[in-house]
Structure formats: structure tokens, C-alpha cells
Structure 1
Amino acid sequence: MSRLQIMDTTIRDGQQSLWATRMSIGDMLPILPKMDRVGYWAIEAWGGATFDSCMRFLDENPWDRLRSINAATPNTPLSMLTRGQNLVGYKHYSREIVNRFIKASKRNGVHVFRVFDALNDIRNVVDTAEAVNECGGHFEGAISYTISPVHTLDSYLEYAQQLKELGADSICVKDMAGLMTPYRAERIVKALNAEIGLPVHLHCHYVGGMAPANYLKAAEAGVSIVDTASAPLAFGNSQPAVEMIVAALQESRYDTGLDLDLLFEIAEYWEEVRKRSHYKRGVSSLIHMQVYSHQVPGGMMSNLMSQLEVQNASDRLPEVMKEIPRVRAEVGYPPLVTPMSQIVGTQAVFNVLTGKRWGVVSKEMKDYICGYYGKAPGRIDPEIMKKVAGNSQVLPDDVPPSSLVTTTYDEVAEEVGDLAQSEEDVLMYALFPNEARTFLSKHRASEKVDFLMQEESSNIK
């Protein structure tokens, strides 16, 4: 069976890549029944930055959002992106919090868990993998794909083997920066099929425009699933358009069998939403194309631009772009994906704006260099190590960073107190205490007002 399967990323990665994660549940619900009829392998609906931005910008409860999407898509499994030990946050959480969060996600509607670690450090995936396997979810182990002297086909195969040993059901090659090229895609898919033997799922960002060609070569090499988005939320920093991939494979042995007319009806709906909300289309510019030399992902680029604007230093972008690969090499070539993209990017900005390299160092960069995020893929420059770490405690390789986080669920529940009415509320607070407190306080207050109104009206009778 060589038919290619498709996962739809429109409501998670598409909107996160192009609309700054501002899509509301009200925009999603009307079209979900049609998306449910397409026959997608899964709909990526949750995780990544959607969890905190729900509370932060949209005044929505992320758990309610998940339940609503699940109710509207009875025929299609839902997928979420989780950052291993970081879950959907930006730091390590304890084993117990990870375990409860994954099980709560499954209970509320997630079936496929795509689990990645920014450093491809398997120790940061163990707790999540165990929880997914225990609750009967589909564990998709993801490889953060990048290019560097230490990232070789062999290193990826070795990591994929470690994921398989943790019980992965499929392996995803996650090309978050759009660095993949067609013949590299063919090579890695063939090798994974031959050596690992699990279904291979390819996730490419369009960025410089290679992704559709990557998908064609990957299909020929035996890839099982690829990621696409509806055309109005495709291209640029997002994924390729589903309509384009479906049309490209028609009448081939990889024909997806999906209905183009139905896909265009769905696209028309999203196009209306896009126009109404004044969102730009995904477009590839020259600086996007240059990803093949500077290796900076699109999302990271927009962060850098806003950091520089705040400092009135937008004109220094070319210098920062030159500085990024230099910093990345000095700290052992981490893949530029959350949170490493922010950590490396910020350091490059400091180096350029202060005019003194490594004069100012963020706490996050220091923690990374000391091993608290996991093991660097390559060797960290000894001079930088000495300068940044100084006399600080450097974590030995045999101590997993997650073992230092011992917060228990009960401690968090006690801290949040009556604001939390459910395990989901407590978990929300465990991950994002400030945002959750603000959100829950506001909603508890309005519930009280509603309750008093009902009391009043029942007294009137």
C-alpha cells in the first residue's frame, strides 16, 4: 500500500507559523465537520504554543478548546506537539507533572503525541514516552532535523533507534527550519525504513520553497505520512498546501485519494477568515530563501526582528544573521528550534549590540552551557565554557536534567488552592503559573457573578 497519508496542520502549526497563534476556537468550529470528512491521518490540533497563547491572548481555556475540537471531529484522530520534558512550556517539568499532563491530554481528546527534544537528547523524552505508552496513545518520536558537522545520517538513525526502544509507534523527521532538500529527504526516509522499520512521517516548513519537492522524493522513498496545511494558511513559514500535494500525486501510485473539491471548499472558508482578520499570506522572501546558508527558521527570524526593533537597531539584522552560525558552532551546534532558537538568537543580538562578544549572557544560555537543558549535540568551545560557566555547577552527563525537578502535583494543587476546580486547572497552573492565575481568577469571578444572578432571579419568582 503506497498511498500517501496526510496530517493537517492548519489549526496548530499553520496558524502558529503565520498568524502568531491568534486563531480562536470560534474560527475553527464551523469548518471542523468538513475537515473531519477529508480522511486525514490526523488533524494536528493542540500543543506547541497554542496552550499558553489560548490563555494569554485569547482568554480561552486550552482544555475546553481541545474538548470542543474533539467533539467536532469524531472520525479523525487529533494530534498534539509536545516538547518532551518541557511539555508545552519552556522549561523542564517533573516526572509526575509530565505523566499527569499526558494522561489528561489523552483523556480530553489527543490520540497522537508527537514528542521532540530540541537537542535530540533521549533523556528528555523518556517520561513523556512512558506516559503516552501507558495511556494507549500513539507515540510519535520526532527527530529535530538540522545541518551541522555533528548531525549526520548515522546520528539521526541512532536517535531513531533510541526512540524505537522507548516504544515509538512512528518516527517523524521534523524539519522546523526548512533546511531539508529533496535528495536528503529521500536518503533519510530510505535509511529509516531500512534500519528502523517504523512508519516515517515527514514534517517540513515551506520557508525557501523546497518542501513540496521533499515530499515527492520522500513519497518515492516510502514515507508514510506528510504534513500540509489548507492553502490560506500554507507556504512561507508554514507547511506546503494540501491542495498542491494532493494534486501533485493524483494518478501516481502515491495518490492520497483525498477529494480536491472538498479541500477547496475548506480553503475558501479559511480564506474568508484570513481576510476578515487581516492576516498576511505565507510568502517566501529572499531572506527566507537564504535559510539554506544562514539556517535561521522563520519563526526565529520574526523574533529577532522584534528584538532589534525594540532596541531601534533593525538595521543590524545582517550582522546578527552572520553572528548566529558563529554562536551556534561555539555552543555545540544545537538545532535551532524552541527553546534553543531563542537562546542562540538572543546571544547573537547581545554580541552584536554590545560590541563585546559573550560580554552579556542570558540565564538561559548559561543554563544550557551548564547542561541543564540536556546534552549539547557537539563540543562546546572550552573558552566560552570557562567564561560563561565560571565556578557554576556543570551538570555531569550521567545526571538527567529532569531529575533535578521534583515538584509534586500535590504541591502545585496546594499553591493554586480553590482557584483550580479540576486536575486540568492544576496542570495549567503547574505549566504557566502567572497566566493560569490571571485566567482562573477572572473566570472564577465571572462564575460567581453568574451564580449570584441566578440566585437573584430564582428569589424573584
Structure 2
Amino acid sequence: MAKVKFMETALRDAHQSLIATRMTTEEMLPIAEKLDKVGYYALEVWGGATFDSCLRFLNEDPWERLRELRKVFKNTKLQMLLRGQNILGYKHYPDDVVEEFVKKAIENGIDIVRIFDALNDLRNLETSIKAVKKYGGHAQGAISYTVSPVHNNKYYVNLARDMVQMGVDSICIKDMSGILLPYVAYDLVKDLKVAVEVPIEVHSHFTSGIANLSYLKAIEAGADIIDTAISPLGNGTSQPATEPMIAALEGTEYYPDIDFDLLLEVSEYFKGLRDKYMKAGLLDPKVLNVDVNTLKYQVPGGMLSNLVSQLKAQGKEELYDEVLKEIPKVREELGFPPLVTPMSQMVGTTALFNVITGERYKMVPTETKNYVKGLYGRPPKPISDEIRKKIIGDDEVFEGRPADMLEPQLDNYRNEIREYIEQDEDVLSYALFPQVAIPFFKQRLAAKYKIETDLLDQENQTHPV
């Protein structure tokens, strides 16, 4: 048995889970040097919703954030989360965009790319895995963990074997809802350790209150790495807190090579930040509670808060319990997709429409229709003809790899924003989030030339860059 390694999520998933990804680069840099010396295996600093949030809410260049962090982190690997063919967006992108994105992420400082697909459709991971290997990164294949009649240990072991065949360097059990039970975790890790020879990492959320127990059983079964969050940003809908997990291993062979005193200094820093977020109203105390409904409905914490805000907007908050009960029904009828982005949004919104309209599948989001048409990949279980007809009528279902339908787009994107380009990476920012990238580019130009952004809109003029 080896010492367990820790991957710290404070700079990505922890603040994404608790404060809607609002931590700024300016708040990260003062503690970066200490974080680098603690002894973590890796730090998750990028990907997920951080890219969108930087541009949309923080007026930051996500690429610049990555470069700034890379300068400081000399000892620790930097990790990101990639949604396979969706990159960091909510739809499929052409292969040329995926490859260029991976190339630039690695060039700018990423060591480990965790790649997942919401449906566990491995065809949606092919391009990303090849690109990570091509440009010298560590490709981690992530299993989107869920529970259903079609998802069991045998299913996950086969997935892991196929991922290793595709060239991944490690496997992550990605439990986004916090529903991986302790003894199930033990058995699954045991089975994976027999089936594949690459390291096994376990990622969970504390939403249902059991993830730390599942981590302990996973470690006993041979898990190599666990994902935790420094305690001021831990627990709740975030990951289990780092310090208690380390303390729980004291006196065992699993105890990590981590400077615990330095870790306490890191914790003090983040306590100050947490207090600031509380005062600003960014951190809702509700997200720190244990929600046992998660075990019944398998709904991730972020999805629950989205449902509440959607119902509030409609003035239908009293329908919350009804929508919650509708979610598992919709999920079953849509072939038991794991409830992770973008499938969680599709299932949740479809269930919401079913309840609000009073007629099931009378009103269906476009994304759900596209999913049923096969444009996101293969459902874990085939969708019945009855449900398919209700949702898309007689429209054809595409059986191939969804990205095969997409033409290369990188050159088109480059031409569309040529007057704004200051770095190659700008093309990728625009490709992923055109509606927020353009205002960001305009502000950047305005600051550079000390002019008002509305003048750029009025004159539509080109500036030398």
C-alpha cells in the first residue's frame, strides 16, 4: 500500500460549487506560493465553469489567469476539467477547435487534463485524448458516475478498460452528485485496480454528507488520489475538506507527504476569503448544508439551486417537490443519462416544463430534442419509440459520432474576430463563448487605447494590434 495523494480543488471546483465560480485571480495569487509548497499531487485551477466566469463576470482573460498561476507553481502539477467534445461549453465543437484548445491549454501551463463526457460515450473523448497525448500532457479519463439499472461496476470497469486502450494515463471516478456510497466505492476501486494498471483517482461532492466516508473506503481499496477542498471552501456542495481527510489518515500507511502546518496557514487565508464571500452574499449558507434528497433524486447541488431560481422566476416555487419527483422519471425515459453538465440542465429543465405545463413533453427544450436526435451521443439505454415520438416526432436519429457532422471552424472564427485578436488564444475564447468574448475584447481594446467602448460599437473601426 502506498501513501495516498491529494488533489486540491480550491481554485476551481470548490469555488464553482460554493460561490458560482467568482474567485478572482487577484484572490488566488497571494496564497499560490504556499499552496505550491504544501505537498499536493496536483491543484485543479482551470476548466469547468472558470473560463466562462472569467469572461462573463470577472472581466478577466482566463488564459492570462492560467499563465499567472503557472509562473508561481513550480512544484505542483496544474490540472483542468475538460468536457470532451464540448470543451468548456455546452455543445459539441469541431475536432480542429478541440485539438487547438488542448494544445493551447498545455502550452499555457496545464499538466493534467481530466476529460469526461456526460453520457460516457467514449467517441466524444477520442479527439481530446489524442490531443493531450500529442502535446505532452497527462490525459485522465473520467467516468461520469451515476446509479441506474444500466450503470453497475461491470459497466464502469469496461469503460475504464476502453479508456486505457484509448491511451489515458489515469482514471477518475467522477461522482458529481455525491451519491457514491462507501462500500460501493470500495468494491468499484477494487475492481478497477484489478482491471487496469493506471492510477485511480476519486472525485466526489459532500452534498449528501457521505463523501469523506466513501474516500476512506476507496483509499482502503487502493485508490491512489482523492480530490479535496481546503476546509473554508470544503464540504457542502463542494468536496470533502482537506485537513480532516489528512488527519483521518494519521498513523496509517496512507498518510500523505503533506506539510500540515503550512496547510493550516493556507486554511487561515481562505477563512478570510470565505468571510468576504459571506458578507457579499456570494456564499449562500444553504449550500453548506447536507441534502439527503441527493441520495434519492441524484440531483447535483448546482442543479437544485438552478431549479429553485427557475421556479422563482415563474412564480411557481410551490411546485419544487413535484419537479424533484419528476426528474427521475424524465431521466429514466431519456435513457438514464448521468446528471452532469449538460445533461443535468436538459433533464432538469424538461422536468420543469412537464410540471409547469401540466402535460408531459408538450414543451421540450431544443437541447433535449437534439439529445434525443443523437446529436450529443449515445444514451446509456435506448430511448423508447413512444418517448422519442413525443419529443421529436418522426425526425431521424443520428447514430454516428456527433462531431463527424461538424466542419472545421477555426479559420472562420479567426476571420470573424481578426480586428480583436491580440493572442492566438482569443480565437478559442470567441469559439466557446462568442456573446461574452466580444464585449470582453471591446473593453480590452478600449482600455488599451483609452476610448469608450460605445465608440467601438458606433464606428466599428479596426485598430492595429
Q: Is this a same-fold pair by TM over 0.5?
A: yes
Tell me how far apart the structure 1 counterparts of residues 244 and 293 of structure 2 sit (CA, whole Å): 24
Return the alpha-carbon distance in structure 2 between the equivalents of residues 282 and 13 of structure 1: 17
Identify the residue that residue 226 of structure 1 maps to in structure 2: 226
Aligned to 2:360: 357
* TM-score relative to the length of structure 2: 0.94
Q: Does 1:6 align with 2:6?
A: yes
Match of 1:387 among 386, 390, 414: 390
CA contact (8 A) 1:209 1:284 kept: no
Residue in 2 that maps onto 1:455: none
Distance 2:296 2:285 in 1: 24
Q: Does 1:341 align with 2:341?
A: no
Task: Assess if the C-alpha contact under 8 Å between 1:8 and 1:229 holds in 2.
Answer: yes
Name whichever of 253-262 and 355-364 sits farther off: 253-262
What SS is found at the alignment partner of 2:111? strand
5 Å matches for 1:386-405?
386-396=389-399, 399-405=400-406
Superposed, 1:37-436 pairs within 5 Å as 37-278=37-278, 279-280=283-284, 285=289, 288-396=291-399, 399-436=400-437
Q: Deviations over 1:116-175 (max 9, x none)?
A: 000000000000000000011000000000000010111111111111011110000000
Deviations, residues 8-47 of structure 1 (Å, cap 9, x unaligned): 0001000000011111111101000000001111000000
SS at the partner of 1:417?
Answer: coil
Deviation at 1:407, TM superposition (A): 3.3
Matched residue type, 2:52: D
Q: For 1:271, what is the secondary structure of its paired residue?
A: helix
Percent same amino acid at aligned positions? 47
In the TM superposition, residue 280 of structure 1 has moved relative to its aligned partner by 4.2
Rounded to whole Å, the distance in 1 between the matches of 2:213 and 2:293 is 18
SS at match of 2:361: coil
Amino acid at match of 1:356: E
Q: Are 1:441 and 2:429 an aligned pair?
A: no
What residue identity is the alignment partner of 2:417? V
Shift of 1:381: 2.4
SS in 2 for 1:13: helix
1:26 equivalenced with 2:29 (yes/no): no
Distance 1:436 1:8 in 2: 29
Judged with a 3 Å threshold, the aligned counterparts in structure 2 of structure 1 residues 343 and 321 are, in CA distance, closer, same or farther, namely: same
Q: Is the Cα–Cα contact under 8 Å of residues 202 and 215 in structure 1 kept in the other structure?
A: yes
Is contact 1:237-1:282 (8 Å) kept? no
Give 1:282 shift.
7.3
Which segment drifts farther, 340-349 or 249-258?
A: 249-258
How much is the aligned-residue C-alpha RMSD, in angstroms? Answer: 1.1
Q: What secondary structure is seen at the aligned counterpart in 2 of 1:334?
A: coil
Displacement of 1:365 in angstroms is 0.4
Letter in 2 for 1:409: L
Q: Deviations over 1:247-274 (max 9, x none)?
A: 0001101011312221111111011011
Q: Name the amino acid aligned to 1:214.
A: S
Counterpart CA distance in 1 for 2:102 and 2:351 is: 35
Runs of 4+ in structure 1 off by over 3 angstroms are 280-286
Query: What is the DSSP-based 3-state SS (H/G/I as helix, E as strand, rest coil) of the residue aligned with 1:141?
Result: strand
CA distance in structure 1 between the partners assigned to 2:422 and 2:407 by the alignment = 23
| Per-residue deviation, 1:283 | 5.2
How far 1:56 moved relative to its partner? 0.1
Q: What's the CA shift for 1:281?
A: 5.3
Identify the residue that residue 461 of structure 2 maps to in structure 1: none
- Aligned residue number for residue 457 of structure 2: none
Tell me, what secondary structure is at the counterpart of 2:417?
A: helix
Query: What amino acid maps onto 1:219 in structure 2?
Result: I
- What is the CA–CA distance in structure 2 between the aligned matches of 1:45 and 1:231, rounded to whole Å? 17
Separation (CA, whole Å) in 1 of partners of 2:437 and 2:88: 14
Structure 1 residues 411-454: Cα deviation after superposition (integer angstroms, max 9, x where no partner): 1100112111221001111111111111011101211228xxxx
Deviation readout 1:167-224 (Å, 9 max, x if unpaired): 1100000000001011010011000000112110000101111111111111110000
Aligned length: 447
- The residue type paired with residue 179 of structure 1 is I
Cα separation, 1, equivalents of 2:215 and 2:393:
46
SS of residue matched to 2:155: helix
Q: Which moved more, 1:307-316 or 1:381-390?
A: 381-390
Structure 1 contact 233–281 (Cα < 8 Å) conserved: no
Q: With structure 1 as the length reference, what TM-score do the two structures score?
A: 0.95
Q: Distance in 2 between matches of 1:283 and 1:309?
A: 18
> 1:255, 1:380 → 2: CA distance?
46
In 2, Cα distance between the equivalents of 1:290 and 1:276? 29
Judge conservation of contact 2:18–2:287 (CA < 8 Å) in 1: no
- For residues 324-367 of structure 1, the C-alpha deviation after alignment (integer angstroms, 9 at most, x for no partner) is 00000001000000000000000000000110111000100000
CA apart distance, 1:387: 1.6
